[in-house]
Structure 1
Amino acid sequence: MSAEAYTVLDGDTVLCIFGVAERGPWGVPWMLSTSDLKSLHMKAGITEARRTLDRWLSTYGRLFNLVHERNEQPKRWLRWMGFAIDSNVTFTHPKTGEQFRTFTMMKDKHV
């Protein structure tokens, strides 16, 4: 269950939902977006996204989750926001064989 969850709208159109769940002492940020989320929206939301990440880092100290190996656009955005992405695959789904990498951000290493 998420500790926080939000919906981003453009009028009546859902662009994305995002939030953070708690896993022990750490935060697990997540986001699901629609095809209506464009780079223009992303640029407009960067300041608020950074404030949200700073707040979550203050609460949890470390944020982590998984990103699909082939999902290049989200990996670029995660790096741009300051997350480190493991260079090796860190999880292979046992049923589908899909591969994922861990992304992390720690309070003392956040710029």
Structure 2
Amino acid sequence: MQNEAKASKPYVRLATRKDTFELAPRLRQEDVEEVFHSSGMPPELALRFSLAVSNIAYAVVWRGQVIALFGIAGQLTWGEEGATGFPWMLASEELPLIRKSFLRECRGYVEGWLEAHDELEGYAWAENQVHIQWLRWLGFTIDPPVPFGINDQPFQRFYLRKEDHHV
């Protein structure tokens, strides 16, 4: 019984290319639309691209399935000013089911990214309220929506500056 409980506990590990193929068909509809409106890419290609350009990427695994991938892209310039990191995350419908444990863990990743980058920045589709709420909870500033991407859809720039961030 104890092994069953341990097996059902979510965990984070380094992401692999295989994870992108596993997660792509199960992405949340809002994530599929966000990716399409920003880049025109289908889910599999967007996940593979995100993994390829990332300095590091992670898979959230629960009950034997990859339920989210996230990472950070951007030039690593440890100790140099001006380095911007570009965080990203795409998830399946199962992610909210482990919300509490995921939220406890994700702040630590942001803290680590701020050690290597002066600022974290990206754009989230304004209709993807789950992402917007998560980013606010993490302490990101969210700008008003502006036209962005291949369809000029409303996207909101989000950013977090090292100098403004308090642990």
**What range describes the TM-score normalised by the shorter chain of this pair?**
0.7 to 0.9
Report what 2:148 is aligned to.
92
Query: Could you give the per-residue CA deviations for residues 59-102 of structure 1, whole angstroms, max 9, x where no partner exists?
Result: 1010000000111121011101100000242x422x42322111
Displaced runs of 4 or more, over 6 A: none
* Larger Rg, first or second structure (1 or 2): 2
| Cα root mean square deviation, aligned | 1.6
- Supply the AA of the counterpart residue of 2:60: V
1:30 CA displacement: 0.2
Which TM-score applies when normalising by structure 2?
0.60
Q: Does 1:8 align with 2:60?
A: yes
Query: What runs of 5+ residues in structure 1 fail to find an aligned partner?
Result: none
TM-score by length of 1: 0.88
Higher strand share: 1
More helix by share: 2
Gapped regions of structure 2 (runs ≥ 5):
1-52, 76-81
Aligned to 1:104: 159
Tell me which residue corresponds to 2:87: 29
The percent identity for this pair of structures is 33
The number of equivalent residue pairs is: 108
Deviation at 1:47, TM superposition (A): 2.7
